[in-house]
């Protein structure tokens, strides 16, 4: 190896844009979380499978409507998640500005996911509660006030879980908005340089 080759390598190495290692690690962590987000679809998918199993074991119009409705919700949610994360897997170039831009786009996608939750979760819960009532009423199970109290209790329990998850989503949304504000400020400063 000659001194000329070393000098060429040194110029190439210095000429490459330097991306802070912390930013690279942050983007890599976000990528892992995004992959876990896809794994999180398995839980709702298992609910969809359960609805189909119920429709097969107890064939009736309410169970079939439940299975079709749950799968319709799941497909819509999955398609929206795939569309939202389409261009969020890697930076466009190996530069600090590209990594910051990717982080900004990811934050915006997370805020869309929070808004999607606030739209879809109540609709899905109301749909399942309505079909549950229809199912129980069609089998003439709701005869006594105790039966109705159990059903109302189940509705209150489901609503409480949805509200708790909604509070967690709200907290997550606030955290993402703070991060987005910081990243947009950083993006503006990088644009000025």
Enumerate residues 6+ apart whose C-beta is below 8 A from 37. Answer: 81, 85
Q: 3 lies in a domain?
A: no
Structure tokens at 181: 């504000």
Q: 177 lies in a domain?
A: yes
Q: What is the pLDDT at residue 15?
A: 54
21-42 burial: b if 16+ Cβ within 10 Å, else e? eebeebbeebeeebeeeeeeee
Q: In the predicted model, is pLDDT for residue 173 greater than 90?
A: yes
Q: 25 lies in a domain?
A: yes
| DSSP secondary structure string for all residues of 131-149 | HHHHHHHHTT---SHHHHH
Structure tokens at 136: 């129980």
Q: 167 lies in a domain?
A: yes
Higher pLDDT among residues 104 and 12, named by residue: 104
Convert the pLDDT of each residue in 77-104 to its tens digit: 888 888 888 888 888 888 888 889 999 9
Q: How many CA atoms lie within 13 A of 171 on its CB side?
A: 6
Q: Write down the mean pLDDT value for the chain.
A: 86
Other C-beta atoms lying within 10 Å of the C-beta of residue 10: 10
Rounded CA-CA distance 38/131 in Å is 28
Domain count, the chain: 1
Convert the pLDDT of each residue in 42-83 to its tens digit: 888 888 899 999 999 999 999 999 999 999 999 988 888 888
* Chain centroid offset of residue 53 CA: 26
Percentage of the chain with pLDDT > 90?
39
Q: What is the pLDDT at residue 14?
A: 57
Q: What is the pLDDT at residue 168?
A: 94
Q: What is the pLDDT at residue 156?
A: 93
CA distances from 84 to 50, 78, 98, 115, 173 (A): 27, 10, 18, 12, 16
Q: 8 lies in a domain?
A: no
Q: 70 lies in a domain?
A: yes
Q: 123 lies in a domain?
A: yes
Domain that residue 151 falls in: 14-192
- SS3 at position 182: helix
Q: 7 lies in a domain?
A: no
Q: In the predicted model, is pLDDT for residue 10 greater than 80?
A: no
């Amino acid at each position: 190896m000659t001194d000329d080759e070393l000098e060429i390598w040194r110029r190439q190495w210095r000429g490459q844009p330097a991306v802070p290692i912390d930013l690279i690690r942050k983007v890599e962590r976000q990528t892992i979380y995004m992959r876990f987000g896809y794994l999180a679809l398995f839980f709702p998918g298992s609910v969809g499978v359960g609805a189909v199993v119920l429709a097969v074991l107890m064939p009736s119009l309410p169970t079939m409507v439940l299975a079709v409705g749950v799968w319709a919700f799941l497909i819509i949610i999955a398609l929206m998640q795939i569309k939202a994360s389409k261009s969020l897997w890697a930076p466009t170039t190996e530069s600090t500005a590209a990594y910051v831009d990717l982080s900004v786009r990811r934050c915006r996608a997370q805020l869309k996911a929070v808004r999607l939750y606030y739209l879809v979760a109540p609709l899905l819960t109301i749909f399942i509660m309505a079909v549950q009532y229809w199912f129980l009423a069609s089998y003439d199970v709701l005869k006594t006030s105790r039966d109705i109290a159990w059903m109302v209790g189940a509705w209150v329990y489901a609503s409480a879980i949805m509200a708790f998850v909604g509070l967690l989503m709200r907290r997550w949304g606030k955290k993402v908005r703070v991060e987005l504000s910081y990243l947009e400020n950083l993006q503006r400063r990088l644009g000025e340089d």
